[in-house]
Amino acid sequence: MMGSQMRQVGLLLVLMLGIARGAVAGDSAVSRLESGDAVRGWEAVGRLEIGGKGFCTGALIAPDLVLTAAHCLFDKVSRKRIGAGKIEFRAGWRNGRAAAYRSVRQAVVHPEYRYDDEKSARQVGRDLALLRLHHPVRNPKMQPFEVGPAMRPGAKVGVVSYARDRDDVPALQESCEVIGRQQGVYATSCRVDFGSSGAPVFSFEGGTPKLISVISAKSRLGARDVALGVALDRRLQRLIAALDAEGDRGATGAKFLRP
């Protein structure tokens, strides 16, 4: 793993999802959240520094829990897991400073995720990891995101992420679309790039952002970019159970809605 993390999944996966539509009308541009006013409300999204070799995006779903993509926790060269102690969550990272710095105490990936099989739809649908921080982030400016129900094709969503050309500030695409879903994978029209792995995808129904997916990879259909995200459903519950089973029993405080 060198540089920022993001996987390129081949066209076959996109075709498996049954996507045959043109560009989605009404998608918003990607806006850099450079000012304090612009980033307000998104401070619980942060940059994950991983082993000093790369970064991903992650988001708080509880004061001590960060949700991201499973492949972010593997070394691209050795293909081995990176120790939790080598990962740092930088909440609200912007212009060289973070609103909070937290080291990671525990990390679990989906029990059936296999890093060696990255290109199948089944593995993209398991590309989910949960991190427990050494110390909770307790700051009224950084409220953890509630997890929302599954979304249907045609639903409008948004994404907040870091990427290789904007690694020092988060960026928001407030409106993109769920194009399809299959085998636990959302295909969306959202714009992502290297570094966006693990970025939270939000539903804005009801006026409050709810986290509904995590970016796993990008692909292309002809000249069009497609972002692939993991549907949470019961996967998050499995991760919380796996985290607790490793030795930290007790309530996590995560809020999520059953689809």
pLDDT for 223 equals: 73
CA distances from 186 to 168, 176, 257 (A): 27, 12, 18
The CATH architecture that domain 7-245 belongs to is Beta Barrel (2.40)
194 CB contacts (<8 Å, ≥6 apart)? Answer: 3, 4, 5, 6, 163, 164
Domain residue extents for the chain: 7-245
Q: Alpha helices of the chain — where are they, by DSSP H?
A: 11-16, 36-39, 121-124, 235-245
* Cβ 176 vs Cβ 186: under 8 Å: no
Amino acid at 111: P
Query: Model's pTM, two decimal places?
Result: 0.88
* Cβ 192 vs Cβ 215: under 8 Å: yes
CA distances from 246 to 34, 105, 242 (A): 39, 11, 6
What is the chain's pLDDT, residue by residue, as a tens digit (259 residues)?
334 666 666 544 554 444 444 446 679 999 999 999 999 999 999 999 998 889 999 999 999 999 999 999 999 889 999 999 999 999 999 999 999 999 999 999 999 999 976 567 788 999 999 999 999 999 988 999 999 999 999 999 999 999 988 899 999 999 999 999 988 999 999 999 888 999 999 999 989 999 999 999 988 766 778 899 999 988 999 999 999 998 644 444 444 333 2
Altogether, the residues listed in the chain come to a count of 259
